[in-house]
Amino acid sequence: MNSLANISLLYVEDEEGVRNSITRSLSMLTNNIATAENGVMALEHLQSHTVDLIITDIRMPKMDGLSFIAALRDQGIDTPVIITSAFNEIEYMNKAIDLKVDKFIKKPIRIMDLIEVITKTAEIINTKRLMHARLKELENYREAINQNNFVIRLTSDGTIIDINKDLKSYFNTHGATKQITSITDLFTAEDSAEILKYATNYKILTKTISLQLSDERFTILFSAFASKLEENNVREISVIISDITPILKDKDEMINRLYTDILTNLPNRIKLFEDLSKNESQMALIIIDIENFSNINHLYGFEAGDEILIQMARLLADYWPDERPHTLYRTDTDHFVILTEKMENFDRDIAEILAMKLMKRIETQNFVIANTLSINISVTLAASCLGEHDLFSEASMALGVAKSRRLPFLCFADISGIRDVFEANLTMQGKIKTALSKDLMVNYYQSIVDGDGSLIKYEALVRMIDPEEPHNVLTPYHFLDIAR
C-alpha cells in the first residue's frame, strides 16, 4: 500500500526548475502537494493550511530553511522536516539537530533517494496517527471499565478522587462504614506504595490480595494503572477491583501492539523514543543498517526480505558481546538499534569495539532464504554516546556520514573532528557561486607537443579567480570536487 497516499506535503525550494521537477515526480505518489519559494511564503501557507511533512532547502532568499524551521518550532509546530541542501557544513547539521529535523537529502537530489526518505518518514507519520487512535481506544476502555466494574480513581499521591457507584454499593452491602479518603484506607501501606510505584512508572499492577471490610475479609483481584496523563505526567490512577481478566488481556495486547514490531516481535521505534526519554544521558545507542536491503527485496521478493529481517533479529537478540544491560529494537525497514547503559568508562572506543564485534558476527553468518539459498549480509554501524542533542539523531547523522564515506563504522563523536573541513568546504562553495555569477571562471589553453617539440594540439583547462583574492588563480584541485 502507498504510505504517501494520505500524506500532505509542503515543498519549499527557491529554484523554480528544481521545484517543478520534484513536484511532478512526487505527484505520481500523492496529489496533496503544496509549494513555496522561500520560508516567508511557506509560513504564510501554514497560517491557513496544515501539512503532514515539510521538505525544504536551506539556502533561500528572504528566509532560509533553518530560520523557517526555527519559526515553526517557536510556534509549537512539530511537523516532520526533511532538509535538502548541497552543503554538508557541520554547524548547519548541529543546528538542524537542535531543531529536530528528521532527515537530510544532499543536492543534487536523486528522486529515488528522496522518495525512499519520504516513504520512511510517511511510515512514521502513519504510525503516530495509529498511536493516537489507539490512545483514544485506551480512553474508551477507561470509560467502559468505570461503567461496568468496581473502580477507584485516585491521584498520583494516593488521594481518592472518586469511587464509582457500584463499588460504593458493594462497600455498603458488606458493612464498610469507615470514610475512605486515601488508598491506605483500603490497602496495606505496602500494597498502596506498590500501586503508586507501578502506575507512576506506566506499569500495570495486577495482584490478588486479602481485603478487610469492617468485620469481613475478602480475597480480591485488583488491577492498578495510570489512566490519565497530562504533559507526560500521571494525573490519575485507576484501581479496578474484581475479576476483569478479559478486559485487562485486551488492553495489554493493545499496548503491546503499539510498542512492538509485528514482523520481528522486537520493540519498535515508538518504544525506543519512550525509553530514551527516561534516562537518555546514561545511555549509548548503536544503529545497525543492512546495506542494500532493497536489492534483496527486489531480487528475491519481500517474503525473502522478511526472512532475512527475522533471522537478523534472532542473531542480534542472541549475541551481545558485552556485560552491560541492553535492549534491541527494530526502528526502520532495514535498521536495528541497540540501546545500552553506558555505566563506567564507556566511550567511543568501547562503542567501536562492540560495533566491530557485532559486524564480524553478522557478516560471518549465513542467512538462508526459503531453506535453499544462503547469502551473506553487509552492515554499516554508527553510534552515539554523547547525548548532547539527541542520541538517535546523533547516531543517524553518523550513519549518514559513514555511508557517504563508505566506512564500516562511525561514532558521532568523530564528526566534530572534521568541523574545519566542513567550514572550508562551505567557504569554497560560496566562492564558486560568486565566481560563476561574476564570470570569474577562466579558460587556460596548454599546448601539447611531441618528442620533437612540435605542436600537436591545445588542451583547455579551467581555472577560477578567487573572488576574495583576485590575484590568486585557483586550479581545479581546490574547487572541482566541491563543485560536484
Mean pLDDT for 397-405 is: 86
In a domain, 163, yes or no: yes
Provide the 3-class DSSP secondary structure of residue 216: strand
Residue type, 420: D
The pLDDT of residue 246 is 47
Say whether both 324 and 386 belong to one domain.
yes
**Burial class of residue 145 (count of CB atoms within 10 Å of its CB; 0-12, 13-18, 19+):** buried
Q: Which tens digits make up the pLDDT trace of 195-237?
A: 999 998 888 998 888 777 667 667 778 889 888 877 778 888 9
- For helices 391-405 and 90-98, the axis angle rounded to 10 degrees is 150
**CATH number of the domain residue 45 falls in:** 3.40.50.2300
Supply 76's cell numbers. 509549537
This prediction's pTM: 0.42
Quick one: pLDDT band at residue 286, thresholds 50, 70, 90? very high
Beta sheet of 326-332, edge-to-edge order: 326-332, 335-341, 283-290, 379-384, 409-411
Neighbours of 328 (CB within 10 A): 18
Q: Which residues of 419-454 are buried (b: 16+ CB within 10 A; e: fewer)?
A: eeebeebbebbebbeebeeeebeeeeeeeeeeeeee
Q: Are 382 and 398 in contact (CB under 8 A)?
A: yes
Say whether both 227 and 302 belong to one domain.
no
**CATH number of the domain residue 349 falls in:** 3.30.70.270
Say whether both 41 and 157 belong to one domain.
no
* H/E element, 166: helix 165-173
| Cα–Cα distance measured from residue 199 to residue 193, given in angstroms and rounded to the nearest whole number | 10
Q: Are 97 and 389 in contact (CB under 8 A)?
A: yes
Beta-carbon contacts of residue 381 (< 8 Å; ≥ 6 apart): 286, 287, 288, 289, 355, 358, 359, 399, 402, 408, 409
Grid-cell match 518504544, residue found: 271
Grid-cell match 567550514, residue found: 423
- For helices 111-148 and 16-26, the axis angle rounded to 10 degrees is 50
Structurally, the chain folds into a number of domains equal to 4
Q: Is the pLDDT of residue 389 over 70?
A: no
Q: Round to the nearest angstrom and report the end-to-end CA distance of the chain.
A: 36
Q: Are 158 and 196 in contact (CB under 8 A)?
A: yes
Beta-carbon contacts of residue 374 (< 8 Å; ≥ 6 apart): 366, 367, 368
Say whether both 283 and 407 belong to one domain.
yes
Q: Is the pLDDT of residue 267 over 90?
A: yes
| Cα–Cα distance measured from residue 303 to residue 313, given in angstroms and rounded to the nearest whole number | 15
Mean pLDDT for 108-121 is: 84
Say whether both 412 and 277 belong to one domain.
yes
* H/E element, 148: helix 111-148
Domain span including residue 467: 438-483
Say whether both 379 and 282 belong to one domain.
yes
Domain end residue (candidates: 108, 124, 140): 124
More confident residue, 157 or 186: 157
Say whether both 410 and 276 belong to one domain.
yes
Pick the closest to residue 253 from 138, 151, 126, 139 (CA basis): 138
Beta-carbon contacts of residue 99 (< 8 Å; ≥ 6 apart): 66, 69, 70, 73, 81
Mean pLDDT for 16-32 is: 85
In a domain, 109, yes or no: yes
Say whether both 101 and 69 belong to one domain.
yes
In a domain, 130, yes or no: no
The pLDDT of residue 291 is 92
**CATH number of the domain residue 197 falls in:** 3.30.450.20
Instruction: Tell how strand 150-154 and strand 409-411 pair up.
Output: unpaired
Mean pLDDT for 136-145 is: 70
Mean pLDDT for 120-133 is: 81
In a domain, 4, yes or no: no
In a domain, 178, yes or no: yes
Average pLDDT of the chain, as a whole number: 82
Say whether both 288 and 407 belong to one domain.
yes
Torsion 356-361-364-365 (CA) sign: negative
In a domain, 423, yes or no: no
Q: Are 276 and 283 in contact (CB under 8 A)?
A: yes
Quick one: pLDDT band at residue 416, thresholds 50, 70, 90? low
Q: Are 329 and 336 in contact (CB under 8 A)?
A: yes
Say whether both 113 and 17 belong to one domain.
yes
Residue type, 20: N
More confident residue, 106 or 34: 34
Pick the closest to residue 124 from 330, 332, 364 (CA basis): 332
Say whether both 411 and 282 belong to one domain.
yes
Supply 434's cell numbers. 560568486
The pLDDT of residue 360 is 94
Pick the closest to residue 287 from 422, 369, 381, 371 (CA basis): 381
| Cα–Cα distance measured from residue 449 to residue 456, given in angstroms and rounded to the nearest whole number | 5
| Cα–Cα distance measured from residue 330 to residue 289, given in angstroms and rounded to the nearest whole number | 10
Say whether both 49 and 103 belong to one domain.
yes
CA-atom Rg of the chain in angstroms: 30
Pick the closest to residue 376 from 367, 384, 385, 389 (CA basis): 367
